[in-house]
Amino acid sequence: MTEQTAPATTPAPDATPRLRVAPSPTGDPHVGTAYMSLFNLAFVRQQGGRFVLRIEDTDRARFREDSESQVFDTLHWLGLTWDEGPDIGGPFAPYRQSERLDNYRPYVDRLLEEGKAYHCWCTPQRLAEMREMQQKTKQPTGYDRLCHGKTREERAELPGFSETPVVRMLIPDDVPLTFEDLIRGTVSAPRPDDQVILKADGFPTYHLAVVVDDHEMGITHVVRGEEWISSTPKHILLYQWFGLEPPKWAHMPLLRNTDKSKISKRKNPAARLTWFQEEGYLPEALVNFLALLAYPPVIEADGTEREVFTFEEFSDGFDWKKVNPVGPIFDLKKLDWLNGVYIRELDLGDFTSRLLPFLERDEVLSGSPSLGELGRLKAVAELIQTRIAHLTEATALVRPFFVADDALEIAEDARAQLKEDAPQVLDAALETLGDIDDTGTGLLGSESAWNAATIEAALREAIVDGLGIKPKFAFGPLRTAVSGQRVSPPLFESMEILGKTSTLARLRALRDTL
């Protein structure tokens, strides 16, 4: 879809909330992008506002071309959709910072003219040496203002000179360091140093671009991670210098690993938003989980708590004051539990269709399965729906139903658990199952005598009663023969789905190896 173009203008004052999320396309999208989007969107939908997706791509050194489309895909997968953005346009397009470079320069020039910013020609090496010396002598770290008040020629005579300058803010002594936060109340932040606002490559830094873009796009509430608290005084100062009304602030608690460290893509695969798709999580379960990380469960009329809730329920009752400012632990066990709950609640047809991409990926089924294969898959899906917590777990349980009888492999752990009476059990099963009539339509619920109830009754009579083997141990060899695994879907229903011919062939194949 082509982007709608419009001049960057100051939006008219409006009571309608406008919130945004602004990820950087520097790799796989971070789970924090979904976390922030969820809380932004919950408030926007409750208030009838607008949700904006902006791509902050000014970090050209770390820019990755495919990252932007991954942001679009993963947020759409989660149902966290936006009203304006690079892919759909909007009244304040463009929504990529790299396409807005002309917007930032007038703001920089104004600050330079008013003496609120200055050029800095220091090389990276000189800055690194300065920081090292400050740390050694235990001085406050920050730029030492060597370039402030100097002309280019004056600075060129000193060491550590770079031909291409950056532009820095000149932080005044009376910079305000407290602000009101929707989640935390009155917040105090440390004194900032002279922040770079325009890089040597002509791209703005985050600090300038975020203020300019949020103003020009009419953003009323800035919701972001608590790591930006220390930067907020710089942003408030820029709003004041430009004579603009600052937005309301809400700093969300950071997501943390079990050791309380900040969750990062380098150390934790679950920090990658695409990981949850790959691992077979349901998007609605992940949305529910992310909400619970910093927000209380739904309170029922009788006062009991309910942890399973929809986005609509979350949005309807949303209140910034309920957000817990303490950094939540990213507990994947809790997510696994939630995912299992959501899987069990799916309609069977929906559950079956959600399995298909994983079964195709693992080459259990082709990209275009036949109607017969889909019918068999639906019958198997009904057996396993209560037995898995991730969609990826279906592959091992489903595969035995789609391999040729002579291609079924017996897992080593399954073979190792077979006891001395396994040959007797298999012989008894072959004899009794061979007598069951399999004429009819078959496949669970058919009029054929080859059905789970008949199979179970016959096998119990032959093995439990006939051989005197306890039910707990009686059917292990049959399970191994039919599925090749120690753990499988219910045995008698599996035999019904496989049919008499395949079931007997598999029993004989295992018997022949014993």
* Residue whose C-alpha is closest to residue 154's, from 194, 118, 107: 118
Dist CA 381 CA 408 (whole Å): 20
> How many Cβ atoms from other residues are within 10 Å of residue 188's Cβ?
9
Is 234 annotated as contributing to ligand binding? no
Contact yes or no for 390/339 (Cβ under 8 A): yes
In this structure, the chain runs to a length of 514
Dist CA 412 CA 339 (whole Å): 30
Tokens of 90: 């909007």
Contact yes or no for 254/226 (Cβ under 8 A): yes
Strand partners, 73: none
- Cα 448–453–458 angle (5° rounding)? 95
Question: Cα(first)–Cα(last) distance of the chain, in Å?
Answer: 64
Give the amino acid at 246: P
Cα Rg, the chain, nearest whole Å: 32
Dist CA 454 CA 444 (whole Å): 12
Name the strand (E) or helix (H) holding 162: strand 161-169
Which are the catalytic amino acids? Answer: 265
Contact yes or no for 90/51 (Cβ under 8 A): no
Dist CA 17 CA 320 (whole Å): 14
Binding-site residues, please?
265
Residue ranges of the binding site for ATP: 265
